[in-house]
């Protein structure tokens, strides 16, 4: 009989207006990989924060057990949990041995005994059957290898719960499956795993069981194969009114229109990662998706196509006008709009109301050029130009949920009526409703005549709306 790794009994917590849990009870056994599902503010993210020790809540009155031992302090939870996220790999100049062994304070003395550290870590890798060199740099590993090293690091530090909060950028489905198989082998007898990802694909490929949250409660615990399809899952995730709203969003259709097929944007001389030079036409009302697994390639493509990065070797044609070595102001004048952080407060103006966010592009006090070209400086610029008296503190956009921010961001640009809309990983922060909102707006932009360009790692969510899907690798 497998032992319990985590048990939570009747956990009830309220933190602020939008985050609460009511009578949360769950159990994760050794070797289990459990996916947490739910909309934004459903309770799944708050549960993960509590398990990670991020919430400074008095735990003595709660019933949380790890390995059969009752937990009374957030620090005890933090000591038992390891989180896998893309942000783990920011320090990439360390060797594998340093990354694994130099985190716990007891190992810092070994910084002066590098050979001994490498021998210890190499032996540990050998015992686990992991064939990754410990003297190589983290930056030279594949995305799959980095994440396997992270699992080994969790075992090295004797963690009991592995929380996977990763969209697995740079990894296709086969690599994600390989990661899941490696995790399953490595955690046997020692750990349990929680998968808390925004990606339906990641949740489906890695989870054996689902715990489904809704409005701060757990509404279903089941094996993955119990969920027959997306409609079956929606019954647990959404209420009746929300299901109707989602159906309305999903039913919005792409339409053929007069003038469709007319080029509005052309890029000439774009060098792909293969080294080949390509020209691309983007047509009125067309939706084109570029797929790039490599994060640097993906971001570079977005920066060039949106005009945010100068590319002297590229020519672009915007509305029949040819620009050589175009700068960002040329793109702005031709109404090329780009969104890099969909659902983030970086795309709205904190302290201003939702209505003010929608109206900013049409305010005569701020030109379109200033508005688009200074996205990272806009909050300060607005304070200088409009003055604090015009800010509505009682309806601040930064108090809104992720889906509301997505709505504001896309509605604002829909009002602006761009000729070209460029989106970078637009579904990265989306829950089930967020995906429907973004897809609905993409279709609305295309129906109005905008050329829509999407840049992503995988085909997830775009295969049914794209006119073209282009792999750049």
Q: Are the CB atoms for 34 and 193 separated by under 8 Å?
A: yes
**Separation between Cα atoms, residue 253 and residue 466, nearest integer Å:** 12
**Separation between Cα atoms, residue 456 and residue 427, nearest integer Å:** 9
β-partners of residue 27 are 7
Q: Structure tokens of 258?
A: 């007069």
Q: Are the CB atoms for 458 and 201 separated by under 8 Å?
A: yes
Which pLDDT value is given to residue 134? Answer: 92
Q: Are the CB atoms for 291 and 469 separated by under 8 Å?
A: yes
**Taking the CB of residue 320, how many other CB atoms lie within 10 A of it?**
9
Which pLDDT value is given to residue 244? Answer: 80
Which pLDDT value is given to residue 159? Answer: 96
* CA 332-335-338 angle, 5° bins: 75
Which of helix, strand or coil describes residue 243? helix
Which pLDDT value is given to residue 285? Answer: 93
Provide the CA 262 distance to its chain's centre, in angstroms. Answer: 34
**Tens digit of pLDDT at every position of the chain (473 positions):** 789 999 999 998 888 766 889 999 999 999 999 999 999 889 999 999 999 988 877 666 778 999 999 988 888 888 999 999 988 887 778 899 989 987 544 444 555 567 788 888 999 999 999 999 999 999 999 999 999 999 999 999 999 999 999 999 889 999 999 999 999 999 998 899 999 999 999 999 999 999 999 999 999 999 999 999 888 988 888 877 778 888 888 888 887 755 556 889 999 988 877 778 889 999 999 999 999 988 889 999 999 999 888 777 888 898 888 888 777 788 888 889 999 989 887 776 655 555 555 555 554 444 555 555 555 444 454 444 444 333 333 445 556 788 888 988 898 888 888 999 999 999 999 999 999 999 999 999 999 999 999 999 999 999 999 999 999 87
Q: Are the CB atoms for 338 and 306 separated by under 8 Å?
A: yes
Query: What proportions of the chain, in percent to the nearest 5, are helix, strand and coil?
Result: 40, 25, 35
Q: What is the DSSP letter of 457?
A: S
- Is 250 exposed, middle or buried (CB count within 10 Å of its CB: 0-12, 13-18, 19+)? middle
Which pLDDT value is given to residue 19? Answer: 81
**Separation between Cα atoms, residue 29 and residue 209, nearest integer Å:** 11
Of 458, 456, 454, 457, which Cα lies nearest the Cα of 467? 454
Q: What pTM, to 2 d.p., does this model score?
A: 0.84
**Separation between Cα atoms, residue 304 and residue 300, nearest integer Å:** 6
Q: Which residues contact 268 (CB under 8 A, 6 or more apart)?
A: 279, 314, 315, 316, 317
Which pLDDT value is given to residue 387? Answer: 43
Which pLDDT value is given to residue 382? Answer: 46
C-alpha separations of 136 from 94, 132, 139, 429 in Å: 8, 9, 9, 33
Quickly tell me which residue has 């990354």 as its tokens: 99
């Amino acid at each position: 009989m497998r032992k319990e790794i985590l048990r939570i009994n009747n956990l009830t917590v309220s933190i602020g207006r939008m985050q609460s849990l009511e009578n949360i009870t769950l159990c994760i056994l050794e070797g289990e990989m459990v996916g947490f599902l739910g909309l934004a503010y459903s309770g799944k993210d708050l549960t993960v924060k509590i398990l990670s020790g991020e919430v400074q809540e008095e735990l003595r009155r709660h019933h949380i057990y790890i390995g059969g031992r009752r937990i009374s302090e957030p620090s005890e939870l933090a000591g038992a949990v390891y989180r896998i996220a893309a942000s783990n790999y920011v320090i990439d100049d360390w060797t594998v041995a340093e990354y694994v062994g130099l985190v716990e304070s007891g190992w810092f003395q070994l910084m002066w005994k590098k050979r001994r550290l490498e021998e210890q870590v190499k032996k540990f890798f050998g015992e686990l059957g992991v064939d990754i060199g410990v003297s190589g740099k983290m930056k030279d590993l594949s995305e799959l290898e980095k994440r396997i090293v992270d699992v080994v690091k969790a075992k090295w530090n004797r963690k009991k719960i592995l929380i996977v909060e990763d969209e697995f950028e740079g990894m296709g489905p086969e690599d994600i499956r390989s990661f899941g198989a490696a995790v399953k082998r490595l955690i046997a007898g020692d750990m349990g795993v929680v998968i808390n990802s925004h990606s339906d694909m990641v949740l489906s490929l890695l989870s054996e069981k689902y715990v489904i949250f809704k409005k701060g409660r757990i509404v279903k615990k089941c094996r993955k194969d119990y969920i027959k399809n997306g409609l079956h899952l929606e019954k647990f995730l959404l209420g009746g009114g929300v299901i109707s709203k989602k159906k309305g969003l999903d039913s919005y259709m792409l339409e053929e229109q007069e003038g469709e097929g007319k080029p509005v944007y052309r890029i000439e001389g774009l060098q792909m990662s293969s080294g080949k030079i390509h020209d691309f036409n983007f047509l009125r009302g067309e939706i084109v998706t570029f797929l790039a697994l490599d994060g640097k390639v993906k971001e570079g493509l977005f920066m060039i196509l949106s005009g945010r990065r100068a590319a002297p070797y590229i020519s672009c044609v915007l509305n029949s006008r040819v620009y050589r070595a175009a700068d960002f102001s040329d793109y702005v004048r031709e109404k090329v709009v780009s969104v890099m952080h969909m659902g983030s407060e970086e795309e709205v103006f904190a302290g201003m109301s939702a209505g003010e966010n929608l109206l900013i592009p049409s305010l005569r006090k701020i030109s379109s050029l200033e508005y688009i070209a200074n996205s990272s400086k806009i909050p300060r610029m607005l304070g200088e130009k409009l003055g604090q008296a015009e800010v509505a503190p009682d309806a601040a956009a930064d108090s809104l949920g992720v889906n509301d921010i997505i709505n504001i961001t896309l509605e604002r640009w829909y009002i602006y009526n761009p000729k070209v809309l460029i989106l970078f990983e637009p579904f990265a922060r989306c829950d089930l409703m967020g995906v429907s909102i973004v897809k609905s707006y993409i279709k609305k932009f295309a129906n109005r005549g905008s050329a829509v360009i999407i840049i992503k790692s995988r085909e997830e969510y775009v295969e049914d709306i794209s006119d073209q899907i282009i792999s750049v690798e």
